[in-house]
A and B are shown apart, each in its own frame.
Chain A
Amino acid sequence: MGGVLAASPPPPAAGSSASPGLTVPPGFGMPSVSTVVPPAESPLPNPGAFDECHRRCKEVFPLQMEGVRVVVNKGLSNHFQVNHSVLLSTTGDSSYRFGATFVGSKQTGPAEFFPVMVGDMDNSGSLNAQIIHQVTSRVRSKLAFQTQQQKFVNWQGDAEFRGEDFTATVTLGNPDVLAGSGIVVAHYLQSVTPALALGGELVYHRRPGEEGSVTSLVGRYTGDNYVATVTLGSAGAHASYYHKANDQLQVGVEFEASARMQDTSVSFGYQLDVPKANLVFKGSVDSNWVVGATLEKKLLPLPLSLLLCSFLNHQKNKVQCGFGITVG
């Protein structure tokens, strides 16, 4: 910055404030403001998708499961994968779920292929379907459908535009022309500095008779080994902090406040990776007096993965434990 200017002698008396009678030796005056364009700054990175802001912290926390689950994954070809999952539940209904994933051949990144079509069907007839496609080099679009047995519960489409240093997404959820209802969500996330990303979300929902909107602001700061994200809005606040202590230990702290339910909760979670033992352990402690842990172990040389999970709710004095086997 200013390298070019320092080499040339300053124009005499043009911008210097030397007192009368003193001549300024060359090179010691104030450089003048010139119209030379400063060299371009290093480009700001794309901040990623809006939904991914809190994702890194959430991934550290264990997922609660109960009962016995058996998942069999079968890859039929490079493009097609099928999975069967049987869940025997202690509390609810047991279910069998069949899922299929199709990955197309249009490659956009090192491991990203489009279009991606994911669908799964329950034994009671509930369907989940998603189609993700990269329409142009910057626009990615997604369609998602969800049914509860034969009734459609969720149908939404969204389009995401990734600019140089910003991401904008528009989602249209459950549009119903006949009833005149729907939800429109607009996201915008901008990289302000290489570490800081700011953005906002606007949700507009409309039903016959009433309409309303909710806005919230998002800020995310990424450090060397930590990520701090804050979401503030009229519906509540959500703050999360993710810290990678070393190769084996990752820690996440989350704070959620909801204006609608009028309560707050704080969670602390950690993930311990022991690659030599093929083991991943996740634990969490909550302000709702819920303590939970998940242990996942790959049983080499078999292509099996064993998952043990246990959650304890001290306030209600309930314990839920489950285990699962994933084959393939």
Chain B
Amino acid sequence: MGSVLALSSSPGHHKWPFSTEPPPSRWDVHPAHWDSPPRWERRDGRLPNPGSFHSLHRSCKDVFPHQIEGVKMIVNKTLSSFFKVSHTLHLSAVSPSYYRFHVEHLQSDDYSKDKDAPALIGEMDSSGSLNAHALLHLSERVRARTVFQTQQSQFVTWQFETEYRGSDFTAAVTVANPDILRESVILVAHFLQSVSSGLVLGGELVYHRGRAEEGGILTLAGQYSRPNWVVTLNAGKGGAHVSYYHRANKQIQVGVEFEASTRTQETTTSFGYQMELPEANMVFRGMINSRCIIGGVLEKRLTPLPATLIMGAFVNHRGDKLQVGLGVNVG
């Protein structure tokens, strides 16, 4: 919904949370409201930059637990301040087991804590599937991103995005899967404008063209933030997506999400919460869905070992299916 991936053939958000989408890239993380000076506290009267279009719903989506299944072991190794490597081994009961190798190379180590840092990211699967992202800061205001995804030997996604971050607006243009031989392309244009200290308005225009058909979809977006909550709305001909995020206190965060799609003609309401217990080194995320899916994932840092234990279970009451997952993250 509102993303290029929903139109392409790779598994997208409409099957979430039972989908197998890759974890969010570094560029999509929503700037947290309590880390950097919040926009309603700017003293100089200028409105802040609203961030990127992809990260509008991100603070609500981060509250929900990710689907976990089978046994997964992740070993993270930091080779230097520029270079990070991680090995993932996933033994699964429903999908084929795989080994994945992930590499991140930061362009400069000044931004090592910043999620928006320019970087080269590559991931290779044991079946040969490749996932490559390149994030570049062309200038202080212009950023470029390139994404390539292959399913074994076949290219599934190849997209190029350019984003201009003005003083109080963001404009981005994405060219996805341009294919000269088949004469098909997907063009996406995003625009977000800070209208007031809490309000951001914008829109997305998607134009897709194939050999036999072409069409365009316009979606309007709005986001209103307050110190403790954020409400975001995307509405257009393709459907609607409303999300509400609330931070109750330092430990509890709550998210409610409503998605309606005209293409699949169905609506879904989800309620999720995240509970952090820093004294117990524990984070618990739970969710319940209008599709009768209940899930919970518990993450616990096993100090003094540099390891994190993840346990999760998802129950689909309507289909009477249960998925249980265990994971260990080392390093």
A residues touching B (Cβ–Cβ < 8 Å)? 66-68, 88-90, 94, 308, 310, 312, 317-323
Question: Chain B residues with Cβ under 8 A from A68's Cβ?
Answer: 313, 322, 324
Min CB distance B308 to A, Å, is 14
Residue contact B311 to A66, C-beta cutoff 8 Å: no
Number of contact residues on B: which range applies?
Answer: 10 to 19
Residue contact A321 to B322, C-beta cutoff 8 Å: no
**When A68-B313, A317-B97, A318-B93 are in contact, do A323 and B324 touch as well, CB less than 8 Å?**
yes
Min CB distance A318 to B, Å, is 6
Residue contact A319 to B92, C-beta cutoff 8 Å: yes
Residue contact A310 to B71, C-beta cutoff 8 Å: yes
Query: Looking at the complex, which one of A88, A90, A94, A323 makes contact with B93 (CB distance below 8 Å)?
Result: A90
Residue contact B311 to A320, C-beta cutoff 8 Å: no
- The answer for the CA separation of A317 and B70 in the assembled complex, in Å, is 12
Question: Chain A residues with Cβ under 8 A from B107's Cβ?
Answer: none
Give residues 67-88 of B contacting A (CB, 8 Å): 70-71
Q: Which 3 A-B pairs have the closest CB atoms?
A: A319-B91, A90-B322, A88-B322
Min CB distance A293 to B, Å, is 10
Residue contact B324 to A90, C-beta cutoff 8 Å: yes
Question: Chain A residues with Cβ under 8 A from B142's Cβ?
Answer: none
Residue contact A67 to B97, C-beta cutoff 8 Å: no
Query: Looking at the complex, which one of A66, A318, A321 makes contact with B325 (CB distance below 8 Å)?
Result: A321
The residue on B at minimum CB distance from A308 is B326
Give residues 281-331 of B contacting A (CB, 8 Å): 311, 313, 315, 320-326
Question: Chain A residues with Cβ under 8 A from B93's Cβ?
Answer: 90, 318-321
Question: Chain A residues with Cβ under 8 A from B91's Cβ?
Answer: 312, 319
- The answer for the CA separation of A318 and B325 in the assembled complex, in Å, is 14
- The answer for the CA separation of A318 and B324 in the assembled complex, in Å, is 14
Query: Looking at the complex, which one of A88, A90, A94, A323 makes contact with B311 (CB distance below 8 Å)?
Result: A323
- The answer for the CA separation of A318 and B94 in the assembled complex, in Å, is 9
- The answer for the CA separation of A94 and B315 in the assembled complex, in Å, is 11
- The answer for the CA separation of A310 and B72 in the assembled complex, in Å, is 11
Not counting A67-B324, A312-B71, A321-B324, a sample of 8 additional A-B residue pairs whose C-beta atoms are within 8 angstroms of each other reads A66-B324, A68-B313, A90-B321, A90-B324, A310-B71, A319-B70, A321-B326, A323-B326
Question: Chain A residues with Cβ under 8 A from B322's Cβ?
Answer: 67-68, 88-90, 94
Q: Is the interface of B mostly helix, strand, loop or mixed?
A: strand
Tally of contacts, chain A with chain B, CB under 8 A: 43
- The answer for the CA separation of A321 and B71 in the assembled complex, in Å, is 7
- The answer for the CA separation of A319 and B325 in the assembled complex, in Å, is 11
**When A68-B313, A318-B93, A321-B71 are in contact, do A90 and B326 touch as well, CB less than 8 Å?**
no
**When A88-B315, A312-B91 are in contact, do A322 and B324 touch as well, CB less than 8 Å?**
yes
Min CB distance B12 to A, Å, is 26
Query: Looking at the complex, which one of B70, B315, B321 makes contact with A321 (CB distance below 8 Å)?
Result: B70
- The answer for the CA separation of A94 and B316 in the assembled complex, in Å, is 12
Question: Chain A residues with Cβ under 8 A from B313's Cβ?
Answer: 68, 88, 323
- The answer for the CA separation of A205 and B71 in the assembled complex, in Å, is 45
Question: Chain B residues with Cβ under 8 A from A66's Cβ?
Answer: 324
Min CB distance A132 to B, Å, is 35
Min CB distance A158 to B, Å, is 38
Question: Chain B residues with Cβ under 8 A from A318's Cβ?
Answer: 93
Query: Looking at the complex, which one of B97, B311, B320, B321 makes contact with A319 (CB distance below 8 Å)?
Result: B97
Residue contact A310 to B326, C-beta cutoff 8 Å: yes
Question: Chain A residues with Cβ under 8 A from B71's Cβ?
Answer: 310, 312, 319, 321
Name 12 interchain pairs, CB-CB below 8 A, sorted by A: A68-B322, A90-B322, A94-B320, A308-B326, A318-B93, A319-B70, A319-B91, A319-B93, A319-B97, A320-B93, A321-B326, A323-B326
Min CB distance A145 to B, Å, is 30
Question: Chain A residues with Cβ under 8 A from B324's Cβ?
Answer: 66-68, 90, 321-323
The residue on B at minimum CB distance from A68 is B313
Min CB distance B82 to A, Å, is 36
Most A CB atoms within 10 A — which of B70, B93, B324? B324
Query: Looking at the complex, which one of A90, A317, A319, A323 makes contact with B323 (CB distance below 8 Å)?
Result: A90
- The answer for the CA separation of A132 and B104 in the assembled complex, in Å, is 64
- The answer for the CA separation of A318 and B321 in the assembled complex, in Å, is 17
The residue on B at minimum CB distance from A310 is B71
Most A CB atoms within 10 A — which of B311, B320, B321, B322? B322
- The answer for the CA separation of A52 and B325 in the assembled complex, in Å, is 36
- The answer for the CA separation of A4 and B326 in the assembled complex, in Å, is 72
Question: Chain A residues with Cβ under 8 A from B321's Cβ?
Answer: 90
Give residues 137-164 of B contacting A (CB, 8 Å): none
- The answer for the CA separation of A90 and B93 in the assembled complex, in Å, is 10
- The answer for the CA separation of A68 and B311 in the assembled complex, in Å, is 11
The residue on A at minimum CB distance from B94 is A90
Question: Chain A residues with Cβ under 8 A from B320's Cβ?
Answer: 94
- The answer for the CA separation of A261 and B92 in the assembled complex, in Å, is 30
- The answer for the CA separation of A66 and B94 in the assembled complex, in Å, is 14
Question: Chain A residues with Cβ under 8 A from B70's Cβ?
Answer: 319, 321
- The answer for the CA separation of A321 and B312 in the assembled complex, in Å, is 11
The residue on A at minimum CB distance from B327 is A321
Question: Chain B residues with Cβ under 8 A from A89's Cβ?
Answer: 322
- The answer for the CA separation of A312 and B326 in the assembled complex, in Å, is 13
Min CB distance B288 to A, Å, is 15
- The answer for the CA separation of A310 and B93 in the assembled complex, in Å, is 11
Min CB distance B64 to A, Å, is 20
Min CB distance A311 to B, Å, is 10
Min CB distance A308 to B, Å, is 6
Min CB distance A298 to B, Å, is 15
